[in-house]
Structure 1
Amino acid sequence: MPEAAPDFDLAVIGSGGGAFAAAIRATNLGKRVVMIERSTVGGTCVNTGCVPSKALLAAAEARHVALDATGRFPGISTTAAAVDMGALIDGKRSLVDGMRSDKYVDLAAEYGWDLRQGTAVFAGTPEEPALKVKGPNGTRDSLTAAHYLVATGSAPWAPPVPGMDEVDYLTSTTAMELDEVPESLIVFGGGYVALEQAHLFARLGSKVTLLARSRLASQEEPEASRALMGVFADEGIRVVRRAAVTSIRTNPSGAEMTVTATVAGGQEEFRAAKLLVATGRRAVTQGLDLDAVGVKTGDTGQILVEKTLVSSNPRIWAAGDVTGHREFVYVASAHGTLMVENAFNNAGHQVDYRHLPRVTFTSPALAAVGMTDEEATQAGIRCECRVLPLEYVPRALVNRDTRGFIKIVADSSTGRIVGITAVGKDAGELAAAGVYILEAGMTVSQVANLWSPYLTMAEGIKIAAQSFTTDVSKLSCCAS
Structure 2
Amino acid sequence: MKFAKFKIKGMTCDHCAQTIAKKFSGNEGIITKDIDYNSGTGKFEFDPDKTDKDQIAALINSTGHYRVEREISEEAIVNNTDETKSYKANTLPFEEDLGSASSIPLGGAGDGLFDFIIIGGGSAAFSAAIKAESLGLSTLMVNGGLNFGGTCVNVGCVPSKNLIRAAETAYHATHSNFAGIKPKGVDIDFAQVIKDKKRLVATLQQKKYLDVVGDFENLKMVQGWAEFVDTKTILVDGKDKYTALKFLIATGATTNIPDIKGLNEVNYLTNVSLFDLEEQPKSMIVLGGGYIALEIAQAYHRLGTKVTLLQRSAQVLSKQTTEVAEELTSHLRNEGLEIYTSLNFIEVSENTEKISVVAEHEGGRKVFEAQKILVSTGIKPNTNKLGLQNIGLELDGGGHILVNDKMETNLHNIYAAGDCINTPAYVYTAAFEGKIAVENAFTGTENKADYSSLPWVVFTDPQVAGTGLDEAQAKAQNIPFEVSKLELKDVPRAIAANDTRGFIKLIRNIETDKLIGARVVAPEGGELIQQLSMAIKHGGTIKELAESLYPYLTLSEGIKLAAIAFDKDVATLSCCAV
TM-score for the superposition, normalised by structure 1 = 0.94
Partner of 1:190: 289
1:397 equivalent to 2:495? Answer: yes
Q: Give, as a single letter, the amino acid of the residue that structure 1 aligns with 2:173.
A: A
Query: Cα deviations across residues 269-290 of structure 1 (Å, max 9, x unaligned)?
Result: 1112221111111111232111
Partner-residue secondary structure (3-state), 1:407: strand
Partner of 2:223: 118
**Does the 8 A contact of 2:228 with 2:390 survive in 1?**
yes
**Does the 8 A contact of 1:152 with 1:322 survive in 2?**
yes
Deviation at 1:84, TM superposition (A): 1.8
Structure 1 distance, partners of 2:157, 2:550, is 30
1:35 to 109, 122, 141: 141
Structure 1 distance, partners of 2:217, 2:180, is 57
Moved over 4 A (4+): none
Q: Give, as a single letter, the amino acid of the residue that structure 1 aligns with 2:247.
A: Y
Partner of 2:160: 53
Structure 1 distance, partners of 2:495, 2:248, is 49
Partner-residue secondary structure (3-state), 2:247: strand
After TM superposition, list the pairs within 5 Å mapping 1:349-428 onto structure 2. Answer: 349-428=447-526
Structure 2 distance, partners of 1:160, 1:91, is 35
After TM superposition, list the pairs within 5 Å mapping 1:15-164 onto structure 2. Answer: 15-38=121-144, 39-69=146-176, 72-126=177-231, 129-134=232-237, 140-164=239-263
After TM superposition, list the pairs within 5 Å mapping 1:250-265 onto structure 2. Answer: 250-251=350-351, 254-265=352-363
Deviation at 1:325, TM superposition (A): 2.2
Deviation at 1:82, TM superposition (A): 4.5
Structure 2 distance, partners of 1:429, 1:325, is 23
Structure 1 distance, partners of 2:499, 2:338, is 21
Query: Cα deviations across residues 197-234 of structure 1 (Å, max 9, x unaligned)?
Result: 11111111122221112211122232211111111111
Unaligned runs of 5+ in 2: 1-87, 96-101, 107-112
Partner of 2:45: none
**Does the 8 A contact of 1:85 with 1:180 survive in 2?**
yes
Shift in CA distance, 82/156, structure 1 to aligned 2, threshold 3 Å: farther
Structure 2 distance, partners of 1:479, 1:123, is 61
Deviation at 1:413, TM superposition (A): 1.6
Between 1 and 2, higher relative CO (CA 8 Å, sep ≥ 6) is seen in 1
Partner of 1:297: 395
Identity %: 37
Partner-residue secondary structure (3-state), 2:516: strand
Structure 2 distance, partners of 1:457, 1:115, is 47
Shift in CA distance, 116/265, structure 1 to aligned 2, threshold 3 Å: same
2:270 to 140, 157, 171: 171
1:236 to 336, 349, 369: 336
Partner-residue secondary structure (3-state), 2:275: helix
Structure 2 distance, partners of 1:199, 1:432, is 24
Q: Which has more radius of gyration?
A: 2
Partner-residue secondary structure (3-state), 1:110: coil
Structure 2 distance, partners of 1:417, 1:247, is 46
Query: Cα deviations across residues 249-285 of structure 1 (Å, max 9, x unaligned)?
Result: 114xx21111111222322111122211111111112
Structure 2 distance, partners of 1:123, 1:413, is 51
Give the number of aligned pairs: 470
**Does the 8 A contact of 2:195 with 2:278 survive in 1?**
no
Bigger shift: 380-389 or 258-267? 258-267
**Does the 8 A contact of 2:173 with 2:184 survive in 1?**
yes
Query: Cα deviations across residues 170-206 of structure 1 (Å, max 9, x unaligned)?
Result: 1122221122222222111111011111111111112
Structure 1 distance, partners of 2:170, 2:217, is 43
Partner-residue secondary structure (3-state), 1:67: coil
